[in-house]
Amino acid sequence: MKALHYTEVEPQEVYGIPGVTVRWLTGKKEGAPNFAFRIFEMEPGAVIPSHQHDWEHEVFVLAGEGLVGVDGEERPLKEGDFVLIPPGASHKFINTGNGVFRFICVIPLKGDTRP
């Protein structure tokens, strides 16, 4: 079976945004059949600016406190919160807490545009 602890995966930069990393637990190159499973970490104060894709995100918060904005609507986030960001919706994330803001983000494979 393919199994690992998420910390075994090397964190990577996300579009060069300061204080933001992503770990791809599975995706195209790892042999996922249909969707990619990633874990993002944002340092306190870090911001993923508003942007959009043609595919959805299914987000689940593992730790910390943050804020999500979807098409201009904002909501605070804490551990155990789930958000479905529809395809095409503009969205942003901010770490509003004092510790790491860590969340899962699952996307269909067509969103795995890693080189």
Q: 73: closest CA among 84, 63, 61, 60?
A: 84
**Residue closer to its own copies, measured from CB, 44 or 53:** 53
How far, CA to CA in Å, does 111 sit from each of 53, 64, 69, 77, 106? 8, 26, 20, 24, 10
Q: Assess contact for 27 and 55: CB atoms under 8 A.
A: no
**Residue closer to its own copies, measured from CB, 18 or 99:** 99
Binding mask 44-83 for its own copies (x = CB under 8 A): -----------xx-x-x-x-----x-xx-x-x-xx-xxxx
DSSP state of 7: G
Residues forming the site for its own copies (CB under 8 A): 1-7, 25-26, 30-35, 37, 55-56, 58, 60, 62, 68, 70-71, 73, 75, 77-78, 80-87, 89, 104, 106, 108
